Amino acid sequence: MNIPLEAQQPDPGVRHSYPVAIEDAGIGTAFRLLLRTLPYALVRLGILVGCTLGAVVWWLVAFGGAAFLGQHVAGPVGLVWFLVCAAGAGALWKFLLRYVLYVVKCGHIAVLTELVTHDQIGNGGESMFAYGKRVVTERFAQVNVLFAVDLLVKGVVSAFNRSLDWVAQLVPVPGLDSLVQIVNAIVRAATTYIDETLFSYGLARGDDNPWATAKDGLVYYGQNAREVLKTAVWVVVLDKVLTGVAWVACLVPGFLLASIMPGNVAGLAFVVGLLLALNLRSAFLKPLFLIMVMTKFHVSVRNQAIDATWDTRLGSVSDKFKEISENARAWVASPRATG
């Protein structure tokens, strides 16, 4: 088969040259990728369950200790105990979120990106955890910068999505009274996963400048917003359906236990079921939805030239995009870019 000349030579306007090993970005592809990286989801579930159990014990100690000290020592002492426990819980959760859950998520995204682009992990002989750890370690500075990038990217995407007057047309059931709420849910779904998708985009194109990746990625998002937001519609629908299934699967046993057990034990069973449902959603459904958005983005931007006019468009709807552009230029000029 003869390949057209334009397909043989890369378009100079294309800001990346990485392969894409998937042909479509449907729910089937996302589900298969989730299954292939299931160990990461299980690790995330283990961390979340451990954090949940730890939080329950922590707050029992906080309230119990405050009540005991307030009754047997002095009221202010009990209050101080509770405030110290509350502050400690906040600091501990921030640490877990920043240095445990976030790093695990970045490792998962690295493995997913490798599967999307090459359909194998590393050289084929490297485990997914070893590969994810290696990529995160090599790019740890970027992982830290991502916290700052995330905030700005979410601000740009939110402002851009609010400026679109055709989002309501993506809802498959017209004339609903709650259309505004549905549109807002779609916007939130897109905003939630775009920053992580742009991290994947940076890994795929091998860029050491996370701000430049965010800038170009946001431009590509603007060019492909309709397709990405169509996927966000399905994310909203599947989130409602699958979360409902998880709630039923976890809470029905709790209700059954509540009918045959004493009041305190029954209440505890119900709370455990509720927390388990929330953890299952975070461990399995959120990665599935991320994969849906991420694969749609990679498929959409494949061999696509960038439209520089979007720089002006995005800058007009959000000053945060201008800040990202300035940070991209500053990063290039900084010692970090030259080693």
| Higher pLDDT among residues 258 and 290, named by residue | 290
pLDDT at 138: 82
> Which range, of 29-43, 182-196, 223-237, 317-331, averages the lowest pLDDT?
182-196
pLDDT at 9: 44
| pLDDT band at 338; cut points 50, 70, 90 | very low
pLDDT at 172: 58
> Which range, of 11-15, 28-32, 90-94, 308-312, averages the lowest pLDDT?
11-15
Mean pLDDT value of segment 84-94: 77
Check whether 69 has a pLDDT greater than 70: yes
Which tokens hold the place of 190?
């897109």
Query: With contact defined as beta carbons under 8 Å apart, do 66 and 58 qualify?
Result: no
| pLDDT band at 3; cut points 50, 70, 90 | very low
Highest mean pLDDT of the ranges 203-217, 222-236, 286-300: 286-300
pLDDT above 70 covers a percentage of the chain that reads 82
pLDDT at 149: 84
Mean pLDDT value of segment 244-273: 75
**128-138 and 38-72 helices cross at what angle (nearest 10)?**
70
Mean pLDDT in the chain?
Answer: 80
> Which range, of 7-16, 102-111, 126-135, 157-166, averages the lowest pLDDT?
7-16
